[in-house]
Amino acid sequence: RVLRDGSWEEVPAEYIVPDDIVKLKLGDVVPADGELIQGHLIVDESALTGESLPVDKNPGDKVFAGSSVLRGEAVVKVTATGLSTRYGKTVELVQVSKPRLIIEEITSSITKGLLVADIFFIALVAAKLVLSRTSILDLLPFTLTLLIASIPIALPAMTTITLALGSLELARAGVIVRRLEAIEAGSMMDVICLDKTGTITENKISVKEVIPLTEDYSEKDILFYALLASEEDAKDPIDRAVIEKASEEGVSKDGVDLVEFKPFSPETKRTEALVKIGGVPVRAVKGAPQVLAEMDGSLDKQGYEDIIREIGERGERPLGVGVEKGGVFRVIGLLGLYDKPREDSPSFINDIKEMGVKPIMITGDNYYVARSIARMVGIDGKVISLKGMPKEEIRSLIDSVGVFAETVPEEKHDIVVALQEKGHVVGMTGDGVNDAPALKRADLGVAVSNATDIAKLSGSVVLTRPGLRNIVDIIHLGRRVYRRIVVWSLNKIVKTFQIVYFVAISTLLLGLPVLSPTHMILMLFLYDFVTLSISTDNLRPSKKPERWNLWKLVKISVVLGLIKIVELFVALYIALDYLALPFDQVRTFVFYVLLLSGLFNILNFRETNWFWASRPSLPVALSISVDTIVGSILVYGGWIIPSIPLSAILLGFIYSVSVTLLLTDVAKLFVFRVFGAV
């Protein structure tokens, strides 16, 4: 309701403008930022700030668009609307923020590197053939086919298929993947920023402890009187917490007759119930500790304040409980309220630390609440408050801090950016509007099951089940997917050595192409068909975050590629001298050995140990078997390429198996020992 021309009118929220006077009441969602000018409110700002406990609002206090009114009525003057509100600025930051696309950078680097290196050799071959007066009609198809062979054509398809299959596997586990690159980011993530409210915790207020202030009343007595001052069907989260705790302790209202109940009011800051117990009138009160202290003239105020401070330092919110009998009111105890951690949070934190991922908690709650929850779930590192801290200081502190408290949405985003600038691959979990910019910016943005719509739209994955256990599944699968892409890349670079460099060098030495364009196109078709099956392989995930190390990948590939070139020259010698085949059949023999060598390399390079240390997936095993059979039939039948004798086929098969699965496997283990496994 908006005050227009001296009267209150119902106006759609989009037509509210600055300086409008708006009336808010129980159940309303605040439509714009504003300042309270009359009345009192209790509002839920958890979606905006991350604070799980309701916030009192009095005249002069700010209210923010997107928060909801839990209690009270008030008149508010609008100060900002649309994108100028805190909510709007958060949405704008989401639109501006963009995630890094790591896998695109890597695949682009591999493609460019191969192309540049291959063009040099292709140019030499072209020059040699021109000098030997080769016809342009023969030269052009050969050089163009060699150029095509040097480009990793199947890399984009293989990457997409691998990530898509991974997303299907995660969907079965309860994870919706919105951006495919999130799976690959999960493999390299070494830091994960965890929102507290609704992510690590349940976003549900619970009674953690009951503290009697006098020997006359036990913990159950205090719970009993707190229960009397609570509404059974109330929406108030504190009432629900008291009722739940009383039920756990076996405390009930049996034998109590309710005379009058006064619900919580922002003005009085307490709840009262007048009841009769055995015919004797009793007044039970619960509310703000300071308010109840003013009602008890015999209370030790200093000791009372000390206990309240200690409760606050333990990360709890104190709630006073009092009782009036015979006209005498006494404060009898305090309840410590907190947002309880999820049951699986400690085990999840322990699991990701064992996987080499550092957890950092980010919350809008105060220092003491943040420290308390961090200790409960096992998050290490310093606990610091960002309240009043300059943005420039965040980057210098980032590596030593385990918990950031009293943050605003912009600072959550800044923390993610600072970690990325330090070279970390960053994950971020969250559920509220305040988490959306950081979720969008993070390499892996995880919106939890109870997240707001804007958080789900900003995240790269969405959990459909409560808790954080599915993040472990994302990490495991991501690392397996990473291994598949690395194995494909290693095979492709080595295969480029085998086709482009071997063909180029042998052509320079012999003066004739050792493979025809037909051989090379057939090779690419048969080989790329099999390498796509790597996207399904049963590769063992790493125990620590993965890192793309292109330089190491290139060094290992070059060494193994040179070894394969030597093996192929031995095969060429066997065809020319030992078997004394005609040159057309020499080409077919070399084609056959090249094909088998590439297929068996897949079995080799998929393992960092001996090739038999683990079984390949069924699609990989079947595709290699089928390709081997098809290749053998082609070289024997001679339908597309010249045929070779059965004895030559048998010799080529035995040579390829013995050299690739034995000698190359030994060489692989030596290279991995020198440079480290990829």
Q: What share of the chain is helix, strand, coil (3-state, %, to 5)?
A: 55, 20, 25
Q: Which residue has the higher pLDDT, 56 or 311?
A: 311
Closest C-alpha to 340, from 196, 466, 195, 210: 196
In Å, what is the CA distance from 135 to each residue of 102, 120, 138, 142?
45, 21, 5, 11
Q: In the prediction, which pLDDT does 389 show?
A: 80
Is 2-96 a CATH 1.10.760.10 domain? no
Q: What DSSP assignment string belongs to 546-562? A: ----HHHHHHHHHHHHH
The pTM for the full model equals 0.74
Average pLDDT over residues 332-361: 91
Pairing mode, if any, of strands 328-341 and 256-262? unpaired
The domain segmentation of the chain, as residue ranges, is 2-96, 109-172+477-675, 185-201+341-472, 208-338
Q: Which residue has the higher pLDDT, 353 or 514?
A: 353
Same topology, domains 2-96 and 185-201+341-472? Answer is no
Place of tokens 């016809």: 135
In this predicted structure, which of 90-99, 565-574, 615-624 has the lowest mean pLDDT? Answer: 90-99
pLDDT at 138 over 80: no
Could you list the active site residues? Answer: 195
Of the segments 251-255, 355-359, 508-512, which one has the largest average pLDDT value?
355-359
Name the packing angle between helices 102-131 and 550-573 (round to 10°): 30
Q: In the prediction, which pLDDT does 528 show?
A: 77
Closest C-alpha to 488, from 110, 40, 212: 110
- Return the CATH number of 208-338, one of 3.90.640.10, 3.40.47.10, 3.90.180.10, 3.40.1110.10: 3.40.1110.10
Note the Cα 264 to chain centre separation in Å.
Answer: 41
Q: In the prediction, which pLDDT does 316 show?
A: 86
What is d(CA 76, CA 23) in angstroms, rounded to the nearest whole number? 6
What's the DSSP call for residue 29? B
Q: What DSSP assignment string belongs to 45-66? A: -HHHH---S-EEE-TT-EE-TT
Pairing mode, if any, of strands 33-44 and 68-80? antiparallel
pLDDT in tens, 250-259: 988 888 888 9
Apex CA 582: angle with CA 581 and CA 585, to 5°? 75
pLDDT in tens, 456-503: 888 889 998 887 888 998 999 889 888 888 888 888 878 877 777 787
What is d(CA 192, CA 372) in angstroms, rounded to the nearest whole number? 19
pLDDT band at 599 (very low <50, low <70, confident <90, very high): very high
Name the packing angle between helices 664-675 and 550-573 (round to 10°): 160
Q: In the prediction, which pLDDT does 236 show?
A: 79
What is d(CA 633, CA 302) in angstroms, rounded to the nearest whole number? 94
pLDDT at 98 over 60: no
Superfamily of domain 109-172+477-675: Calcium-transporting ATPase, transmembrane domain (1.20.1110.10)
What is d(CA 416, CA 424) in angstroms, rounded to the nearest whole number? 9
Q: In the prediction, which pLDDT does 592 show?
A: 94
pLDDT at 100 over 60: no
Which region holds residue 31: left if phi is over 0, alpha if psi is between -120 and 50, else beta?
Answer: alpha
pLDDT at 263 over 80: yes
Burial class of residue 453, CB neighbours in 10 A (0-12, 13-18, 19+): exposed
What is d(CA 496, CA 117) in angstroms, rounded to the nearest whole number? 10
Average pLDDT over residues 397-419: 86
Q: Average pLDDT of the chain? A: 84
- Give the contacts of 187 (CB within 8 A, at least 6 positions apart): 475, 478, 479, 480, 481, 482, 541, 542, 545, 546
pLDDT at 49 over 70: no
Assess contact for 340 and 346: CB atoms under 8 A: no
Q: In the prediction, which pLDDT does 135 show?
A: 63
Assess contact for 599 and 629: CB atoms under 8 A: no
Q: In the prediction, which pLDDT does 379 show?
A: 93
Q: In the prediction, which pLDDT does 237 show?
A: 84
pLDDT in tens, 103-112: 656 666 666 6
At 25, the amino acid letter reads K
β-bridge partners, 461: 177, 446
Q: What DSSP assignment string belongs to 86-135? A: HHHHHHHHHHH-----HHHHHHHHHHHHHHHHHHHHHHHHHHHHHHTT--
Residue 443: which H helix or E strand, with range?
none
Q: In the prediction, which pLDDT does 107 show?
A: 62
pLDDT band at 132 (very low <50, low <70, confident <90, very high): low
pLDDT at 628 over 90: yes
Q: In the prediction, which pLDDT does 678 show?
A: 75
What is the separation, in whole angstroms, between the first and last Cα of the chain?
64
Q: In CATH, what number does 185-201+341-472 get?
A: 3.40.50.1000
Q: Which two three-digit tokens encode residue 496?
A: 């480029």
